[in-house]
Amino acid sequence: MRKTEPGVTVTPTIQVIERMFALIDVLASREEAISLKEISAKTGLHPSTTHRILNDLATGRFVDRPEAGSYRLGMRLLELGNLVKNRLDVRDAALAPMRELHNLTQQPVNLSMRQGDEIVYVERAYSERSGMQVVRAIGGRAPLHLTSVGKLFLAADDPQRVRAYATRTGLAGHTRNSITQLSALERELSKARQYGIARDNEELELGVRCMAAGIYDDQGKLVAGLSISAPADRLDEGWLNKLQATANEISYALGYRGNPPA
């Protein structure tokens, strides 16, 4: 990769990104679709350059073309915006309850969300007193079928989506305890639906077990999961009620008013 020295023009890659931002800003300034000619004039970019970048953005659904020669912001931006909004809202609502749960258990408490075929850790409450090394930091990812929170999200999917996930991922395992067969995964998801909680029995990391409960938004949608991680011989079933109560508390803060899972 080329380095940029002081006084030297930025690389073409950066220039393209800057032009993309300029085009998005122009589209954001108007509610209705804008013609290619007007967009080109407002950004000062040549029409052919404008057309090429807009077409690339349309491929990624960041831009829509309601009719030939006109453009507007695409639905992908709304999807990403909602994802960020939910993540920030959930994190804000979860921080204090997570710390309280950690103080009770003295084990790491994790807040995770789904992104595609993985969960991503967005917040964690832990201390050195837990006696367990925290392997996956905030921002870390893990496959859905190997994690307690991931299983909650898969349990919320219909059977066809679960089978499609299994086909895409091959249900690759990380440890000897990993679930790598669809039939076994389906049985595990059935239990998660029945009890409203899910478990990871050393399936992602040997020596680490987890239990998780779901967090729901004001529409009743599963938006995150709260989990307790502990050394395999220290996970206390007595924490389960408090875990579910904490997840329900966070859901309530997000506007959820339905009956909590059984």
CATH classification of the domain holding 188: 3.30.450.40
Do 131 and 94 have their domain in common?
yes
CA distance 72 to 28: 8
Do 155 and 249 have their domain in common?
yes
- How confident is residue 127, by pLDDT bands cut at 50, 70 and 90? confident
Q: Is the pLDDT of residue 137 over 80?
A: no
- How confident is residue 132, by pLDDT bands cut at 50, 70 and 90? low
Whole-angstrom CA distances from 80 to 76, 77, 83, 140, 142 are: 6, 5, 5, 19, 20
Whole-angstrom CA distances from 227 to 85, 111, 150, 207 are: 21, 7, 10, 16
| pLDDT score recorded for residue 261 | 53
pLDDT, tens digit, 9 for 90 and up, residues 161-215: 999 999 999 999 999 999 999 999 999 999 999 999 999 999 999 999 999 999 9
Token readout for 163 is: 């089978």
Top-confidence range, 34-38, 132-136, 143-147, 258-262: 143-147
Pinpoint the alpha helices (H) of the chain.
Answer: 12-28, 36-43, 47-59, 75-105, 148-156, 159-169, 182-195, 240-253
Q: Say if 4 falls within a structural domain.
A: no
Question: Within 10 A of 124 (CB to CB), how many other CB atoms are there?
Answer: 19
| pLDDT score recorded for residue 83 | 77
Top-confidence range, 1-10, 128-137, 139-148, 252-261: 139-148
| pLDDT score recorded for residue 126 | 82
Number of domains the chain contains: 2
| pLDDT score recorded for residue 129 | 61
Domain interval for residue 39: 12-73
Q: Say if 260 falls within a structural domain.
A: no
CA distance 236 to 165: 31
Q: Say if 2 falls within a structural domain.
A: no
Which of 73, 89, 123 is the last residue before a domain boundary?
73
Global pTM exceeds 0.85 = no
pLDDT, tens digit, 9 for 90 and up, residues 214-245: 999 988 999 999 999 999 999 999 999 999 99
| pLDDT score recorded for residue 30 | 85
pLDDT, tens digit, 9 for 90 and up, residues 42-85: 999 999 999 999 999 999 899 998 888 899 998 888 888 777 77
Number of H helices, E strands in the chain: 8, 9
| pLDDT score recorded for residue 1 | 40
Contact 111, 94 (CB under 8 A): yes
DSSP 176: T
Do 29 and 153 have their domain in common?
no
| pLDDT score recorded for residue 11 | 45
Do 105 and 222 have their domain in common?
yes
| pLDDT score recorded for residue 6 | 40
DSSP 4: P
| pLDDT score recorded for residue 139 | 84
